[in-house]
């Protein structure tokens, strides 16, 4: 027995954009619905294994909204997310793996890094990776991770790498590890509350196994994305997660995007400004199936690091000029399989 989640259903974007524009116009005119969404709640405030991989840079296409605005207005994001919450609740549930079965997931990601040569000299490089995991209910399973060939954002970066003696950047390295019972974290979300307010309280208290982090709406937004990745999370819980995102202050509409696998979707984002590395987290989803397609983290402002602190050979992430995609992920396929060698 196996099931597959692969969000490839075609979307009628004209219909989606029209619905979004009408709801946004209603909110901007101060309708009761719009006011309720803006005042429903006050500003309340795991580790994600960086192993997932292919270049997944989303291409944003701003949506023109009534009144001369563009995608990004909070009322537009709320309108879209509330509608997607309804779609999520209508989807059939995905079964969790039973005894002797495994939850299989495959994703692709790409990261941007800064390499310190010495004397303050650096170069940047980008590296894709492919991540596959098999996780059983008892915590047993397997993780297969492969790093790909690096590329350089500019010819100057490549020339610096060559001049430095072409240091090893760990290209085309495969790590394949198997685990016995309790070796992996199997996060069972079957008992999560389906009421958005109750679920939000658990998230804000960071009491959900497998996800966590510091306080703040940025981290709450990240956790929402983490929980939406769980294919056996119930439709009701997924709907509640979208409702929470719809009411989270600071969430903006990015617009229509194409993920790293070429699939069309819609993205919403949250920007973190009070940080050494101001950045924007984007969640990409199929608005008709409510499936999470991918996520991007993009530097919102220039980010630097004291390169002398690490010394030659040090490698840093989340560094670069504004607009740098520091980490992008595309969630390709997931479902239940009968062994740690079976793939979907």
pLDDT at 60: 40
pLDDT at 308: 79
Q: Which helix (H) or strand (E) holds 79?
A: helix 74-89
> What are 146's two structure tokens?
């492969």
| Cβ neighbours for 97, distance < 8 A, ≥ 6 positions apart | 103, 135, 136, 137, 232, 336, 337
Q: How is residue 303 annotated by DSSP?
A: B
The whole-angstrom separation of Cα 302 and Cα 323 is 8
pLDDT at 211: 84
> What are 339's two structure tokens?
């062994």
pLDDT at 20: 54
Phi and psi at 250, nearest 5°, equal: 100, -10
Q: How is residue 49 annotated by DSSP?
A: P
> What are 193's two structure tokens?
């509350």
Q: Which of 91, 87, 78 is nearest to 231 (CA)?
A: 91
Q: Which of 236, 138, 246 is nearest to 192 (CA)?
A: 236
> What are 68's two structure tokens?
């001369």
Burial of 15 (0-12, 13-18, 19+ CB in 10 A): exposed
The whole-angstrom separation of Cα 135 and Cα 182 is 10
pLDDT at 210: 83
The domain locations on the chain are: 13-27+52-337
How many residues are recorded in the chain? 344
Spell out the per-residue pLDDT of the chain, length 344, in tens. 333 334 334 445 445 544 554 455 444 434 333 333 333 333 333 222 223 333 333 334 333 333 223 333 378 899 999 999 999 999 999 888 999 999 999 999 999 999 999 888 999 999 999 999 999 999 999 999 999 999 999 999 999 999 999 999 999 999 999 999 999 999 888 889 999 999 999 999 998 988 888 888 989 999 999 999 877 789 999 999 999 999 999 999 999 999 989 999 999 999 988 777 789 999 999 999 999 999 999 998 888 888 878 889 999 998 889 889 999 999 999 999 999 999 99
Longest dimension (CA), the chain: 65
DSSP H stretches of helix in 211-310: 217-228, 235-246
Do residues 271 and 248 lie in contact, with contact meaning Cβ atoms separated by under 8 Å? no
């Amino acid at each position: 027995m196996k099931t597959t989640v692969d969000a490839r259903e075609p979307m009628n974007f004209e219909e989606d954009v029209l619905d979004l524009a009408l709801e946004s116009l209603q909110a901007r005119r101060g309708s009761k619905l719009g006011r309720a969404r803006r005042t429903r709640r006050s500003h309340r405030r795991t580790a994600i294994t960086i192993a997932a991989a292919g270049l997944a840079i989303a291409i944003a296409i701003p949506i023109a909204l009534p009144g001369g605005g563009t995608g990004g207005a909070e009322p537009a994001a709320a309108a879209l997310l509330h509608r997607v919450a309804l779609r999520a609740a209508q989807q059939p549930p995905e079964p969790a793996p039973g005894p002797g079965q495994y939850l299989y997931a495959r994703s692709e990601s790409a990261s941007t890094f800064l390499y310190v040569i010495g004397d303050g000299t650096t170069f940047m490089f980008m590296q894709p990776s492919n991540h596959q995991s098999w996780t059983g209910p008892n915590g047993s399973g397997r993780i297969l991770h492969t790093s790909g060939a690096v590329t350089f954002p500019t010819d100057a970066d490549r020339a610096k790498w060559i001049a430095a003696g072409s240091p090893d950047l760990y290209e085309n390295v495969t790590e394949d590890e198997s685990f016995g019972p309790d070796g992996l974290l199997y996060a069972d979300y079957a008992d999560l509350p389906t009421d958005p307010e109750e679920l939000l309280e658990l998230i804000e208290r960071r009491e959900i196994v497998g996800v966590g982090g510091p306080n703040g709406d940025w981290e709450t937004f990240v956790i929402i994305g983490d929980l939406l990745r769980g294919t056996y999370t119930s439709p009701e819980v997924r709907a509640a997660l979208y409702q929470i995102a719809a009411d989270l202050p600071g969430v903006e509409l990015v617009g229509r995007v194409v993920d790293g696998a070429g699939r069309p979707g819609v993205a919403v984002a949250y920007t973190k400004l009070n940080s050494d590395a101001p950045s924007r987290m984007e969640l990409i989803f199929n608005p008709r199936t409510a499936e999470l397609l991918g996520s991007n983290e993009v530097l919102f402002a220039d980010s630097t690091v004291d390169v002398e602190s690490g010394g030659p050979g040090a490698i840093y992430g989340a560094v670069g000029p504004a607009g740098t995609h520091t980490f992008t992920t595309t969630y390709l396929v997931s479902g239940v399989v009968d062994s740690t060698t079976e793939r979907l």
